[in-house]
Structure 1
């Protein structure tokens, strides 16, 4: 264990806290993966939920072919290549092939609204897009090389790659997070940071070549970095849950049990739908992204290495952690910094705070990212010189998270200094949501608020002052064209004005007391449902846990959230063979609206 006795001493007098020092060499991903592939070429490297598998030799050969193709297209170190694809074996091959060619991968969710996808691709400055043939027609923009991974000729043939001069300081990937200015921002992570992270958690998680790691996170969520490279760089195997499997708790649990998954990194919301007794092989769990209850800890931790993990994308996935043992009445603390990292709780003048006093968390160490893509001012404001660093040039990342040192020597998460919130573990800047809503031509003012929805999940609500008869449905549909589903407010509330306090700030208490105006006409009676409406109603009622839903009733008014919306759409796809996008759903988020959209589309499972 990395949190040794010497590290767990009371730290009131010697802040900041340093993680244990470990001799971890700075290396590149292709270098470390190559060693694993040569050591055990026939070992399973990756498997999906359709029964497809690759050995380390297969993965090495196929990623070489992708790298050769990218080199022929002119990709060089530091060039960014987009991967627009669902979780799949092809994506793992593409990510590794991009790194072998010297490029940096940028994963983009193919279900994003086209406008949002265009923003990310343009901001990343990509000239090459790795995707699937069925997604090519929906890609925005022109002038980029498009590589359909499922059609790439000779992808399984051995090739001899030319030497690519790659160093640990070269860029490995760019991951986009919500930005308060209204557009997402790209975090730049180097090879050295990624490799160090894997070597660090290999020891802390006690990983080995025998482990089987679940890959269920969205590719644009940095947990996916651990799920893929936390396995491949230690000789373990990656087990992929596709979208339909992930959204169906029974199917996901079956996949984990049948494949003997031993290790997961996930958010608390996923655990709420799984049974700990049904997963006997699961031995390591890193849970993070949002606070969770002591009850959840007590239910899952017996017999397992249960870790409360903390880390922003700007510090390479995870940088502070605690192994949780015993019984907990409240959410466990986030623990202490991992190997070769540092954690500071500082006041507004950047002075260490005593035990029990709230301060802002700054983290330092090899995991600290290079900065933000093409945003030097923002980078300079949040990535700062470390005055107490171990070597010249050490930097700190200012997280914006509020923490306290406890008497036990652990850090406890308290909250945020700004208006960033977490929705299912993913960062959402309320300012970005507000700016997108305010782009609607008939919205003069918008405020976004995040509150618990009664089930422990976060619920986003947008309050708007609107003109010219704009309706909540109009505004929500407009917002869904620009934002991913988890950032679209569950409810849009029309208000005559945004209330303010005496100091001129938004009065959140008064605002959240506002209610949507009553409808001008009573809702239509449910009446006789069409066959499609009946089938959709059964899906909706099961997922939302309601009964007797009217076909014209807004699913969000029924208590639905963005995660449940995605589950509904996944079930629609599997039941009807029809793919509905979140944007299509938001145009009429009712049973009738979903049924109409289904009936209007040809089946294309």
Structure 2
């Protein structure tokens, strides 16, 4: 087979010719051996609609290539290491962890692999390891170690509530849990053995032969029954998606690829392995811990070439760029992230206004990619937009279409209604295997042969064959790109012994939709604070409703169900009335210089008013109870740093959650721990680990 084959680029498919150089394309094709194995898994066949009335919007185009069907994530990574062992594989954007070369990352993975090799799994044919590790090199090296040994890894976020982590550990039933340091304790891991990756001495890799059909990872998503669902992907299915990413984004060794999401979400898969399997540098940032306030200047200094985030994070960065430009009065015409050549947005709908935001943030020479996918099917549909010649209108909805099905995937609209709207079905040989130990829910979403997945997303087909999103067919929503089942939030509300009924729904927000919840209780002990505390013990922080009310009753429909439309109207009416009656609304007009002249508590109140859009209830009301969201907390973080000229982390603000506590945190005469403690603690921990390794001769 010739290395140089004819190909229609994604950009030309959407009507915009590719502007990338041929030299970069040739660099991308240097990953020939990897791509051979990836394309070998594409079965050349014509897929017909599996349901009567479906509309076909994509075809499988590429034939299989015989003889290259044995690569795994681990062996593909080793091929990259062989090509450029001294190149930088990982770089921490915040500078907390030192840069890590491909050779050093391989030795770290080898040390973890040697540790796993000493564990006897209950089922040697299906060993599993849970990774309860922080964002960064320790998590990456553990994933690679598992992939090289043929272990299925289960990424877990240490910041999640202990009860949720314990549930995931019980569902995954791993043979061992990898932690950093002392670990979370038996309240999370139970009787499962924990191993500290810090004790793993760097070692050469001795990887056995691993079948590409073996599970690579189990990734948990929200479940409508209250229990998370574990999505199982094989090495072969992951590599197919990564192959599309390598080819469509023309990734190469000169690229710097952002990794901003948690490793527990599928967005991180394309970022991590797309970077590592192309020889690029993966630019990590622990966004959940450090927050968004410093992300724009951090990325500006790091000069990424490939950017990936949810639309919500992207909009925050665009807003921060506009504020910085207005505040400084300098360099206002230069896009803050002009180093980015490809910007991928996914996880939430993208709107026509986002094209202007992208042009201001990245510049007109960037290609904006509107991506669509799911944990079950990975990225399967994408739209490539040339910002130098962008579309100026949509079909009337204001929502940007998601383009066409990618190589190896087939998208259909099932049973479209009179307006052409129906459920998106994805057909492919590269779907996940289903839900871990959950045949009932697997049967609900997957066809019997495992080649069709019902997404639950609604869309219509445009005249050019592109898909335009049109909402959901069920109660699943997206919060900052995270899949959330409203039923799961309601189950969590009703787990409170004083709550008899819980109702959750979404309303429009400033930068993204916001969650609202009503808890029904006649018990005086049920307060907003107590219910929110209960939710914080079982749900991740990002999916706790921004707006929570405890009421004695709710409106019902004629069938006795909660009248969500009436509740939504009540919430919006109350919210608008509160904003109109707010005597402190003018405080949002104060800029950071004006706030700096105020007394600390007054300046902090002004920061809160700007972030919330209304005056807070009092100095001792926590931010979330005042109606703040995680995104608004990031706005508050930015406002505090601009006003008080001191660094604070998102974790610091979660701990010091009231106006009084935050004022003490940033005031010069404070007795509280200094601002930025979270960052300094991480830096101190990294330094301590390096000293211990040096003392042990490692």
- Picking from 186, 196, 204, the partner of 1:159 is 204
Distance 1:2 1:537 in 2: 52
1:80 aligns with 2:143: no
2-side partners of 1:259 and 1:4: how far apart?
27
Counterpart-to-counterpart distance in 1, 2:341 and 2:102 = 24
- Per-residue CA distance 1:174-213 (angstroms, 9 max, x = gap): 1111100011111111100111111111111222222110
Is the contact between residue 434 and residue 448 of structure 1 (CA under 8 Å) also seen in structure 2? Answer: yes
Partner of 1:200: 244
Deviation, 1:235, is 1.4
The 8 Å contact of residues 3 and 20 in structure 1, kept in 2 or not, is answered as: no
What does residue range 242-281 of structure 1 map to in structure 2 within 5 Å? 242-243=286-287, 247-249=291-293, 251-272=294-315, 273-274=317-318, 275=321, 277-281=335-339
Which residue number corresponds to residue 591 of structure 2?
Answer: none
Tell me which residue corresponds to 1:409.
465
Tell me whether 1:315 sits opposite 2:315 in the alignment: no
2:266 corresponds to 1:222 = yes
Match of 1:60?
106
Structure 2 gaps of 5+ residues are 1-7, 16-48, 322-333, 578-583, 585-598, 682-698
Q: Is the 8 A contact 2:399 2:469 kept in 1?
A: no
Change (3 A) 1:5 1:544: closer
- 1:17, CA displacement in angstroms? 2.3
Map of 1:298 onto structure 2 = 356
Question: Contact 1:363–1:398 (CA<8 Å) still a contact in 2?
Answer: yes
- 2:563 corresponds to: 507
**After the TM superposition, which residues 536-547 of structure 1 pair with which residues of structure 2 at under 5 Å, given as runs?**
537=605, 540=608, 543-544=611-612
Measure how far apart 1:230 and its partner are: 0.9
More helix by share: 2
Tell me the distance in 2 between the aligned counterparts of 1:357 and 1:253. 40
Q: Please name the residue that 1:118 is paired with.
A: 166
Contact 1:319 1:367 (8 Å CA) reproduced: no
1:142 maps to which residue?
190
- CA offsets 1:96-141 (integer angstroms, 9 cap, x no match): 1121121122111111111111111111112322222164458623
- 1:231 aligned residue: 275
Q: Give SS of 1:290's match.
A: coil
- What is residue 435 of structure 1 aligned with on the other side? 491
Distance 2:131 2:346 in 1: 25
1:362 corresponds to 2:425? yes
Distance 1:248 1:14 in 2: 41
Q: Structure 1 residues 576 and 283 mapped into 2: Cα distance closer, same or farther (>3 Å)?
A: closer
For residues 248 and 378 of structure 1, do their structure 2 counterparts lie closer, same or farther at Cα, with a shift above 3 Å needed?
Answer: closer
> 2:151 is matched with which residue?
103
TM-aligned CA distance change 1:6 to 1:227, over 3 Å:
closer
Query: Which residue pairs with 1:178 in the alignment?
Result: 222
SS in 2 for 1:492: strand
In the alignment, which residue of structure 1 is the partner of 2:528? 472
Contact 1:340 1:366 in 2 (8 A): yes
The CA distance in 1 between the partners of 2:267 and 2:371, in whole Å, is 11
Change (3 A) 1:550 1:514: same
- Cα 1:397/1:230, change in 2 over 3 Å: same
Instruction: Call closer, same or farther: CA 1:321–1:170 in 2, change over 3 Å.
Output: same
Q: Is the 8 A contact 2:358 2:368 kept in 1?
A: yes
CA distance in 2, matches of 1:297, 1:159: 47
d(CA) in 2 for partners of 1:538 and 1:39? 54
Q: 1:461 matched to which residue of 2? A: 516
Structure 2 residue aligned with 1:128: 176
| Contact in 2 for aligned 1:356/1:407 (Cα 8 Å) | no
C-alpha contact (below 8 Å) 2:126/2:152 kept by paired residues: yes
Please tell me the root mean square deviation across aligned C-alpha atoms, in Å: 3.5
- What SS is found at the alignment partner of 1:400? strand
Give deviations 1:515-550, integer Å, cap 9, x for gaps: 6899xxxxxx9xxxxx99678657645654667873
* 2:693 equivalent in structure 1: none
Give the secondary-structure state (helix, strand or coil) at the position aligned to 2:189: coil
1:289 aligns with 2:340: no
- Asked whether the 8 Å contact 1:340–1:365 carries over to 2, the reply is yes
CA distance in 2, matches of 1:555, 1:504: 35
Post-superposition Cα deviations, 1:339-366, rounded to whole Å, max 9, x if no partner, equal 011111111xxxxx49951111110214
Distance apart, 1:592 and its partner CA: 4.0
- 8 Å contact from structure 1 (residues 578, 601) kept in 2: no
Query: Per the alignment, in what secondary structure is the counterpart of residue 447 of structure 1?
Result: strand
C-alpha separation between the residues in 1 aligned to 2:505 and 2:650?
Answer: 33
State the aligned residue count. Answer: 571
Rounded Cα–Cα distance in structure 2 between residues aligned with 1:593 and 1:449? 31
TM-score, normalising length: structure 2: 0.74
Q: Equivalent residue for 2:446?
A: 383
Gaps of 5+ in 1: 348-352, 386-392, 519-524, 526-530
Give distance in 2, aligned partners of 1:564 and 1:381: 36
TM-fit CA distance, 1:160:
5.1
Q: Is 2:653 the counterpart of 1:552?
A: no
Are 1:171 and 1:190, in contact at CA under 8 Å, matched by a contact in 2? Answer: yes
* CA spacing shift, 1:343–1:433, aligned 2, 3 Å: same
Would the alpha carbon gap of residues 59 and 178 (structure 1) be closer, same or farther in structure 2, given more than 3 Å must change?
A: same
**Other-structure match for 2:328:** none
d(CA) in 1 for partners of 2:281 and 2:77? 12
1:450 aligns with 2:511: no
2 CA distance for matches of 1:511 and 1:153?
54
Partner of 2:235: 191
Q: Is the CA contact 2:522–2:552 (under 8 Å) kept in the aligned structure 1? A: no
Q: Which residue of 2 aligns with 1:340?
A: 408
Separation (CA, whole Å) in 1 of partners of 2:516 and 2:480? 15
8 Å CA contact retained: 1:267, 1:287: yes
The CA distance in 2 between the partners of 1:97 and 1:534, in whole Å, is: 52
C-alpha separation in 1, matches of 2:540 and 2:465 = 39
Label 1:245 to 1:255 Cα distance change in 2 as closer, same or farther (>3 A): farther
- Measured against aligned partners, the alpha-carbon deviations of 1:501-522 in whole angstroms (never above 9, x if no partner) come to 224432222223446899xxxx
Give the Cα–Cα distance (whole angstroms) in 2 for the partners of residues 576 and 53 of structure 1. 24
| Preserved contact between residue 507 and residue 568 of structure 2 (Cα < 8 Å) | no
Kindly indicate whether the alpha-carbon contact (under 8 Å) linking 1:68 and 1:101 is maintained by their aligned counterparts in 2. no
